[in-house]
Chains A and B, each alone.
Chain A
Amino acid sequence: MVNKITIENLKAVYEGVLALNGVNLDIRQNEILGIIGPSRSGKTTLLKVLNRMIDFVPRSRVEGKILFDNLNIYTDIRLLALRRKIGMVYALPLPLPMSIFDNVAYGPRLHGTKSKSVLSDIVEKCLKASYLWDEVKDRLDSQAFQLSGGQQQRLCISRTLAVEPEVILYDEPCSGLDPISTAKVEDAMRELKEKYTQVLVTNNTKQAARVSDRTAFFLMGELVEVDNTKKIFTGPSDERTNDYITGKFG
């Protein structure tokens, strides 16, 4: 297994609070890495560090080394290129106030694609990849806000895919969705495994158990353990992990 992202001794201060303390973690090519842990354990901060969205957060600081394809994300890769390669899907569906088509085409347009036919191809491909195409193909020009919550979230996944990322970060992507929509999003994630490396932060341990290959457990800014998902959920090495997944706290 090739490491897509290598995190070495990561320390991160988020809005003046130490959110991650000495994290070492590898993220492997084409895996789905589930990240679980109670709130304030540093999961979201980790995602924000990976695509450097933390740069916008006031009073924050990052120490340690993060390698993306063996390139340091702070020194060897241009910021905007990094954000293209590491896409992000947020907790709430956040469609932009424009049409379905324009939402998906937003990223490619930013990066210079102008041809209408190329854009159409990209939009179709990405909507198919997130299982949304059949539901919206006849109304690509209608406003994205008119879609249901689950559809909006899959639209956001399509939009992320459209910039051709290599890694997709999900920040509790199903927290606002009903079980059927959640299942559809999860299906999409499994299907995307062939091409993408995915990191799934979730408060729902069962979801991690369902879709991730490996699972990492975070607690109070530290990585307690990371292992095959099966191992984590059947026989974790750390007692705290066991307590968390069996619901003793959280």
Chain B
Amino acid sequence: MGNAKLTQKIVFFLLGVATVMVIIPVILIFALILVNGLQAISLEFIFSTPKAGMTQGGIFPAIVGTLYLVLGTAAFSLPLGILAAIYLTEYASDNWLTRLIDIAIINLAGVPSIVFGLFGVALFVILLNFGTSILSGSLTLSIMTLPVIITASKEALNSVPKSFREVSYSLGASRWQTVRNVVLPNAIPGIMTGTILGLSRAAGETAPILFTVAAFYLPRLPRTVYDQAMALPYHIYVLSTQVPNVPVKIQYGTVLVLIVIVFFMNISAAYIRAKFRKKKQW
């Protein structure tokens, strides 16, 4: 028995070591980016355009481009995703079509992001003739984000107790009245959490925007949705692999800005989730 206890101690210790080996690099990566990135951060870095073949200046157009893409993605994927989730949980009966949609969504979630990029090129850039533009890029990112939003929204809607719906119907409410007055208000925090997480992923994605929107270098800000735009993830790619002699400081600075945007979204999502859990009574 003493032997078994000792074995257990050793094995648990080794498991702990393995876990810490995963976590420590995460901390190191953050420390590395933070320490090196902060040296680059200044008002000028954030609010000016790249200069001298990107070896000087700032990243303003890339920041703006990423924000535009996130907004554009939200504009398409939010209504579509949430409505689709409402359809699947509140309206669709459990039949072959619903199951087919479920399978479709699961598979959509697993499609590699570069394949979304290819699809975006074929459909939006070429066939619909939107060109490489914010419109094409946002649509491509939307389709990638859609399964995340649908899945999270479905989960949030399903977590609203059935009895609430039953009570509402028994008082003579129509389906939409029930959804609108009872289901949605209680599912909104969950939907928002999932949606923000989905959008934060879109903000950091590179592969889907490579050929649908991203501009190598664009000294001015995009004016319409048909314009190309710079974007932070692609800019990082360009700085670290495509342009020689970019000061490391600028690279780290760009990475830090992207990380801050992505983490800001993640933390907002976590905050909403935590706040709602406290308030929830059922």
Contact = CB atoms under 8 A, between A and B. Distances in A.
Interface stretch (B145-153, B162-170, B252-260): B162-170
Contacts of A84: 171-172
Interface in A51-106: 51, 53, 56, 58, 80-81, 83-84, 87-88, 90, 92, 94, 96-97, 106
Contacts of B166: 53, 56, 90, 94
B33 interface: no
Q: How large is the interface on A (under 10, 10 to 19, 20 to 34, 35 or more residues)?
A: 20 to 34
Contact of A96 (B94, B164, B169, B177): B164
Contacts of B181: 106, 109-110
A143 interface: yes
A126 to B, nearest CB: 12
A151 to B, nearest CB: 15
Nearest to B177: A110
Contacts of A58: 93-94
Interface in B148-186: 163-164, 166-174, 177, 181-182, 185-186
B80 to A, nearest CB: 27
A96 B173 contact: no
Contact of B172 (A81, A92, A143): A81
Contact of A83 (B169, B185, B186): B169
Contacts of A80: 172-174
B94 A110 contact: no
A122 interface: no
Given A90-B163, A94-B163, A97-B282, A83 B177 contact: no
B177 to A, nearest CB: 5
A22 interface: no
For chain B, what secondary structure do more than half of its interface residues adopt (helix, strand, loop), or is it mixed?
Answer: helix
A172 to B, nearest CB: 14
Nearest to B178: A110
A145 B168 CA distance: 17
Contacts of A96: 164, 167-168, 182
B224 interface: no
A107 B182 CA distance: 12
A97 B164 contact: yes
B241 interface: no
B281 interface: yes
Nearest to B180: A110
Contact of A159 (B163, B171, B174): B171
Given A58-B94, A97-B282, A143-B281, A110 B167 contact: no
Contact of B282 (A88, A109, A145): A145
A90 B172 contact: no
A92 B282 CA distance: 14
Contacts of B177: 110
**6 closest cross-chain pairs (CB), A and B:** A84-B172, A83-B172, A88-B170, A107-B171, A145-B281, A94-B163
Given A87-B171, A94-B163, 16 more contacts: A56-B169, A80-B174, A83-B172, A84-B171, A90-B163, A94-B164, A96-B167, A97-B164, A97-B186, A106-B181, A109-B181, A110-B171, A110-B172, A110-B173, A145-B282, A160-B171
18 contacts: A53-B166, A56-B166, A80-B173, A80-B174, A87-B171, A90-B163, A90-B166, A92-B163, A94-B166, A96-B164, A97-B164, A97-B282, A110-B177, A143-B281, A145-B281, A145-B282, A163-B171, A163-B172
Interface of B: 93-94, 163-164, 166-174, 177, 181-182, 185-186, 281-282
